[in-house]
Chain A
Amino acid sequence: MKTIIKIGLSLCISLFFISCEDDSFAVPTASVTVNQQEFAINETMVIHFTGIAQQVSIYTGDDMHNYDLRAESNTGFVVNKGLFTYSYRASGQYKVVCVASTYSDNAAETRQDTCSFVVTVTDDVTEIDKLSCSQVVYDEVFADKYPNDEWLMVLPRKVKYSTSSLAISLSAQRLKFYIQSDSTEILVDGNPYASNTRYNLTNPVDIQVTSNYGTVRPYKLYTIYYPEFETFTLAGVAGTVVRTEFDYSYFEVELTLPQGTDATNLSPEFTLFSTADQVYIGDTEQQSGSSVVDFTQAVSYRIVSTSPDNPAMQAESTVNIKLTYQ
């Protein structure tokens, strides 16, 4: 009987120690799977935690999430249900660190295990979404996109602002590029682009966009003025060109003719700022001093300006004639 009691006591003591051991906390194991290790900008990285831990955090390796700088306020993301997704906004190589932690009751003691891998993020964006002259007086004027990476900027010769008309120069304009990536490099006529530089747009401008990955994409920017009459004379009376602050492609020429003037068959004399500009009423081309027009009806001129460097680049204005009689 005594032997049985002794054996029983031994078993109880053994059980006691074994159960005490169970109260201690597990050893963490950090291991993860990742969907791929090369990503584009904003492409999703999916990490599944496959190890053992009570708490998992992941340092993505980019700005403010660098594991090596964790003592300097860099932080990781807490992983929920073993799944973590992320994407990068800048290209580079990033060390992703997974920290698996376990802790004892009341977190009096913690254990950690880490694993890491490197991901490569490439940025190959070369697309210009929008291009503008950002400071045409107070206006931002956008260029039009044409095939073959060509852009056409059309600017007004003058901008009416409040009570004044301010001249606009093609030779000193700020440019603004709308490109998805922050990492692209832009050269304007071979020089690095700066947002506060005023560029000479008189001649076609060569723009070169280089992605962070290294892809080079050339663009060409043509700039012309909205065409308008420099002078417009009818029956010896000089007209006044009136512009609107809202629409740079619309003009009115105001003329006051002597009472009794026969306006049915008049040949206006006009000059244009560029010899390449062409004047139409409807589809009929008009010649200064020779084309006959009936001004008793509403007359609307259409002026087309063509870039001397590329005939596909055209701008068009509308000029309405407003006649009054003395």
Chain B
Amino acid sequence: MHKSLFNIILIVGCSLVIFSGCDNFLDKEVLGESTDKNYYDTKYKLQTALNAGYDILQSDLFNECEWRFGEATADDVWGGDEGLASQMGQLVNFRFTTSNSWIADRYTINYKGIHRVNQVIANVDKVQLSLPLYGEYRSVREILGQAKFLRAFYYFNLVKTYGGVPIRPETETVENFVIPRSSAAEVYAYIEKDLREAAIMLPARYTGVNAGKVSSGTAIAYLMKVLMYQATPGERSSKWEEMKRLGEFFIDGNSMTYGDILHYDASQEDWEALRQRLWFKPQELNQPTDPYETKDTQLPALQNAYSLDFQDSYGMNITYLDQFTGAGEFCRGSVFEVVFKESADGSFGDTNEGSSVYDNHYSSSPQIWTTQTIMQDLFGTDPRRTYMIGHNAYAPDGTICVCGESRSVSLKWYTPIKERPQNGGDNGKNRRVMRYAEVVLMYAEALNECGESTRALVELNKTKAKANTITGATTLYVGGGYGYMRDQIWKERRMELCYEWDRFFDLVRQKRAASVIRAYGFLRANKRGYYFREGVHEVFPIPQNEIDISNGVVEQNPGY
């Protein structure tokens, strides 16, 4: 045979064998590999997916964005990074562009959290129960309820920062990457629905090894806050009215049913269908001993689950300041905490620890300091003033504060000696996000807005009286007309909740951010805050990159 012909036959023959073989090989499934289709088949795997949703709360970037937007941009602090050459400096001066990196980071990290919990919510129905027991359904239901809360929490962060944002589908596909913005009202409605459903799916409060999981109490506290952000001070509305009813349930112990909190409407969704969607055990599978939840079932009572008393989770007395230390983690006054965990391995970086959070606020080189104004003008003789500590002053356990000459920081971010990790990067102290004191003050504000100032004064003085026990002081707030009561409630909010990263958003929802922040700008040598533009800077711009990659489908906020 001719040599060339032989070679051609050989090559063609081998190719046919190889290519036909590849075809079958590629069709085979890889055994034992987890995919999004088969992963979520047990409640344990669903729990790991939920853990990923909580994980965002522990990340450095999430917490960095929390204090930079919630605290650093407002009037209670000044910082070491206020020069116009840095992204942070431009942010706090309100002289940023739509490409500011912190504005992009806050947007991204909260959507990252949403994406993670959406996978829990979208895949929950893939869970196979080994036995159709009531407790098994409850376990899955509680995972789903926590995911719903976290989704609401992340969207709340977005809507109060950017206004209306795109509501991402629970299942992402390549066909639906670009989603237009929903209105702020639509986003708030979406948040409310998640919080209302979480409230009926979760127990009143987790304790013991489960402490730190979000609960029905957390969901209802945030529902009150979300309603407050939608209401306008001085204008009667159903939002204030519902806040009042929730406060009566949470604090006064009035009853509230599942139907009440859900605003259940039988014409919109069959009750049994709703139960099954939320992983209540289906009626047809119920055993005689299993409870059956109806729309008239009472929500778990919260009145005794939380308290203004300075007590730890065991009911032992602690100090006011311990509410913010390791000794007071999950204390009676704590509604929602970001749980950090000490690894004790000396590592630095984005782990489960909160070292950077604390170093940024209480260290020899913090990022922000308290203003002298708040110490002198606001606190006056209030006992809580002593929890602002100046350079070279002594912390309660005798350590010297070194935070810079003539500067002060808040002891809320102090880690006592006995709780300090052996290695600097391992701080496992939890961050308090929502405290019961805020629930009481929200209730007081709702009462005042509903024309019940007498009751509002009672609630307002609860937190003041509790603070008075620090030194035995007796000064209380006195009654007055609507405006006077409102101002006193806002003053107490500022004192009790200062340096907990909520001041900026509180000013915005009170509709006075421009006047307060600009007035603060006049006091600062660099005029930071003076450039706040009313009607524009109450919300930050949608990150420019989001506008660009959506080809303009995602529209920018007015004024940017």
Name A residues whose Cβ lies closer than 8 Å to a Cβ of B. Answer: 41-44, 63-64, 75, 77-81, 83-87, 89, 130, 132, 136-142, 156, 159-162, 180, 244-248
Contact = CB atoms under 8 A, between A and B. Distances in A.
Contacts of B95: 64, 77
B454 interface: yes
B454 A246 contact: yes
Contacts of B559: 42-44, 87
Counting chain B residues whose Cβ lies within 8 A of the other chain, the interface size class is 20 to 34
Among all A-B residue pairs, the 7 with the closest Cβ atoms: A140-B483, A246-B453, A80-B99, A245-B479, A139-B481, A139-B484, A87-B559
A136 B483 CA distance: 10
Contacts of B485: 246
B371 interface: no
Given A139-B484, A142-B234, A180-B535, A42 B558 contact: yes
B481 A159 contact: yes
B44 to A, nearest CB: 45
A246 B479 CA distance: 6
Given A87-B558, A246-B482, A246-B485, 6 more contacts: A42-B535, A64-B95, A89-B533, A139-B484, A142-B234, A244-B454
Given A80-B97, A80-B99, A42 B484 contact: no
17 contacts: A42-B536, A42-B558, A80-B544, A81-B544, A85-B97, A85-B98, A87-B558, A89-B533, A89-B536, A132-B483, A138-B480, A138-B484, A139-B483, A140-B483, A140-B484, A246-B453, A248-B481
B286 to A, nearest CB: 50
Given A44-B560, A132-B483, A142-B483, A162 B533 contact: no
B487 interface: yes
Contacts of A161: 478, 480
B534 interface: yes
B550 to A, nearest CB: 14
A244 B535 CA distance: 37
Contacts of B533: 42, 87, 89
B497 interface: no
B309 to A, nearest CB: 28
A18 B489 CA distance: 75
B349 interface: no
Given A42-B536, A138-B484, A180-B534, A85 B560 contact: yes
A44 B479 contact: no
Interface of B: 84, 95, 97-99, 234, 451, 453-454, 457, 478-485, 487, 527, 531, 533-536, 541, 544, 548, 556, 558-560
Contacts of A41: 535
B480 A137 contact: yes
A160 B478 CA distance: 10
Contacts of B480: 137-139, 159, 161, 245-246
Contacts of A44: 556, 558-560
| SS of A interface (majority) | loop
B511 to A, nearest CB: 9
Contacts of B560: 44, 85-87
Given A84-B97, A85-B98, A139-B484, A162 B478 contact: yes
Contacts of B479: 160, 244-246
Most chain A CB neighbours (cut-off 10 Å) among B97, B98, B560: B97
A1 to B, nearest CB: 42
Nearest to B536: A42
A136 B548 contact: no
B482 A139 contact: yes
A81 B99 contact: yes
Contacts of A84: 97
A142 B482 CA distance: 9
A202 B559 CA distance: 42
Contacts of B84: 75
Nearest to B93: A64
Nearest to A182: B534
Contacts of A89: 533-534, 536
Contacts of A75: 84
B558 A245 contact: no
A258 B196 CA distance: 57
A147 to B, nearest CB: 18
Given A77-B97, A78-B97, A141 B481 contact: yes
Contacts of B97: 77-80, 84-85
A42 B536 CA distance: 7
A247 B451 contact: yes
A116 B485 CA distance: 52
Nearest to A132: B483
A285 B558 CA distance: 54
B60 to A, nearest CB: 24
B99 A247 contact: no
A130 B232 CA distance: 13
Contacts of A138: 480, 484, 487
Contacts of A137: 480, 484
Contact of A87 (B99, B454, B536): B536
A77 B558 CA distance: 19
B544 A140 contact: no
B84 to A, nearest CB: 6
Contacts of A81: 99, 544, 548
Nearest to A90: B533
A78 B487 CA distance: 41
Most chain A CB neighbours (cut-off 10 Å) among B99, B487, B544, B558: B99
Contacts of A244: 454, 479
A247 B447 CA distance: 13
A139 B378 CA distance: 18
A132 B97 CA distance: 36
Contacts of B482: 139, 141, 246
A80 B547 CA distance: 13
Most chain A CB neighbours (cut-off 10 Å) among B234, B484, B534: B484
Nearest to B454: A246
Contacts of B556: 44, 85
A180 B534 CA distance: 7
